[in-house]
């Protein structure tokens, strides 16, 4: 049955890919994002698009009128460099979730999705490079990433209590490093897969074949390709499961191993200039997918190699299409994959 969705953060990376999927499924979509429309990663004629600050209660009330379902993918965030240097800004994103939940209660929204993060997990459990995958219960006792992680964990609790106290159906996903084409790859907010692809592309073009690496490159992570993420979001949203759940990959690699994958894709070898004074985050973090496998029968389809090939070539093609010293990054999005 056709439903009416509001996607907050619709101009962002995950939001754009999710909107595309919802439109293909035949739903009506309204998108809101604080960025000016010309800076949205994807825009579709089939959706109604608004540039609004969804920290404001009035905007939340107006945008949730006559809506069936709400996806909240909005927050002030970026890679490790951004979240470690902008903790107050990251925590202010709590206003988006707070006011959206209040508006959903008033306007009787049927179901609400909140995008949390693996940064909500206890950092004391993430000191070893060879960490086992983090299970959902590992978020407590609480000691999340300072700033960004605390906002995520607090907002998860708000969702839980709005369900318990007011009957608002909520779904909460803890994302583990989502990556892929049509997202941020420079400017300070990019995450490791896109940042490293960009650095290797630039090293290849310049002929210098050297890149800067934050930390010693031994820190480990797991990375999930965007198409798998969107599939998991929709499965979770349509399920009856209301507790936080991991959406991530169990394919853990070090940053050095990730660079080696990109080297093989780019057909060059790079010298690595390790910058030990730069933020690197926790030593190890990976997803344990036992719960999502049991509850949703979900498995990711893209290997890291396959996903990085798509991501690297998308970024490389942007550089190849450089015109008049301006990068032609995003064109009008098509519903054809």
Q: Sign of dihedral through CA atoms 60, 63, 68, 70?
A: negative
Q: Can you give the pLDDT at residue 323?
A: 52
The answer as to whether 213 is a domain residue is no
Q: Can you give the pLDDT at residue 130?
A: 92
pLDDT tens digits, the chain, 337 residues: what are they? 689 999 999 999 999 999 999 999 999 999 999 999 999 999 999 999 999 999 999 999 999 999 999 999 998 877 778 878 889 998 999 999 999 999 999 999 999 999 999 999 999 999 999 988 999 999 999 999 999 999 999 999 999 999 999 999 999 999 999 999 999 998 888 899 999 999 999 999 999 999 999 999 999 999 999 999 999 999 999 999 999 999 999 999 999 999 999 999 999 999 999 999 998 899 999 999 999 999 999 999 999 999 999 999 999 999 988 754 454 444 444 443 3
Task: For residue 334, count other CB atoms closer than 10 A to its CB.
Answer: 9
Q: Can you give the pLDDT at residue 193?
A: 97
CA 236-237-239 angle, to 5 degrees, is: 65
Nearest residue to 113 via CA among 102, 124, 123, 100: 100
Q: Can you give the pLDDT at residue 131?
A: 87
Indicate the number of domains in the chain.
1
CATH code, domain with 76: 3.40.50.720
Q: Can you give the pLDDT at residue 286?
A: 97
**Distance from C-alpha of 329 to C-alpha of 76, rounded to nearest angstrom:** 22
The residues, any chain, with a CB within 8 Å of residue 278's CB and separated by 6 or more, are: 81, 214, 215
The answer as to whether 105 is a domain residue is yes
Count of H-run helices and E-run strands, the chain: 11, 13
The answer as to whether 8 is a domain residue is yes
Please say if 148 is a catalytic residue: yes
Q: Are strands 28-33 and 4-8 parallel, antiparallel or unpaired?
A: parallel
Asked if residues 41 and 16 have their Cβ atoms less than 8 Å apart, the reply is: yes
Q: Can you give the pLDDT at residue 81?
A: 80
What residue numbers bound the domain in which 43 lies?
Answer: 4-179+224-249+287-300
Nearest residue to 35 via CA among 60, 52, 47, 17: 52
The answer as to whether 189 is a domain residue is no
pTM for the model: 0.93
The answer as to whether 211 is a domain residue is no
The answer as to whether 228 is a domain residue is yes
The answer as to whether 102 is a domain residue is yes
The answer to whether the bond into 141 is cis (omega within 30° of 0) is yes
Pick the catalytic residue from 112, 114, 121, 148: 148
The answer as to whether 173 is a domain residue is yes
Asked if residues 211 and 200 have their Cβ atoms less than 8 Å apart, the reply is: yes
Region for 51 from its dihedrals, namely left if φ exceeds 0, alpha if ψ lies in -120 to 50, beta otherwise: beta
Asked if residues 224 and 174 have their Cβ atoms less than 8 Å apart, the reply is: no
Asked if residues 195 and 79 have their Cβ atoms less than 8 Å apart, the reply is: yes
By three-state DSSP, how is residue 50 classified?
Answer: strand
Q: Can you give the pLDDT at residue 331?
A: 44
């Amino acid at each position: 049955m056709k439903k009416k969705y509001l996607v907050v953060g619709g101009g962002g990376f995950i939001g754009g890919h999710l909107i595309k999927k919802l439109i293909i499924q035949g739903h009506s979509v309204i998108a809101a994002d604080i960025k000016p429309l010309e800076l949205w990663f994807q825009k579709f004629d089939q959706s109604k698009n608004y540039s609004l600050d969804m920290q404001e209660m009035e905007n939340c009330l107006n945008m949730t009128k006559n809506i069936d379902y709400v996806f909240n993918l909005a927050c002030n965030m970026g890679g490790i460099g951004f979240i470690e240097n902008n903790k107050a800004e990251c925590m202010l994103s709590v206003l988006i979730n707070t006011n959206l939940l209040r508006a959903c209660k008033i306007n009787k929204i049927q179901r609400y999705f909140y995008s949390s993060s693996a940064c909500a997990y206890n950092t004391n459990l993430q000191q070893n490079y060879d960490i086992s995958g983090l299970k959902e219960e590992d978020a407590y006792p609480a000691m999340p990433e300072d700033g960004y992680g605390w906002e995520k964990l607090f907002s998860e609790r708000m969702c839980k209590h709005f369900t318990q106290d007011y009957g608002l159906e909520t779904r909460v996903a803890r994302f583990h490093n989502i990556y892929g084409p049509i997202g941020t790859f420079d400017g300070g907010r990019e995450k490791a897969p896109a940042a490293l692809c960009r650095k290797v592309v630039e090293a290849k073009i310049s002929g210098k074949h050297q890149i800067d690496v934050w930390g010693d490159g031994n820190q480990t992570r797991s990375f999930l390709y965007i198409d798998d993420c969107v599939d998991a979001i929709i499965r979770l949203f349509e399920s009856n499961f209301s507790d936080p759940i991991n959406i991530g990959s169990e394919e853990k690699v070090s940053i050095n191993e990730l660079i080696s994958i990109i080297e093989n894709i780019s057909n060059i070898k790079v010298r690595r200039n390790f910058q030990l004074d730069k933020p690197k985050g926790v030593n190890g973090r990976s997803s344990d997918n036992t719960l999502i496998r049991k509850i949703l029968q979900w498995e990711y389809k893209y290997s890291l190699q396959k996903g990085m090939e798509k991501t690297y070539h998308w970024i490389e093609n942007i550089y190849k299409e450089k015109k008049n010293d301006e990068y032609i990054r995003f064109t009008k999005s098509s519903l054809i994959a």
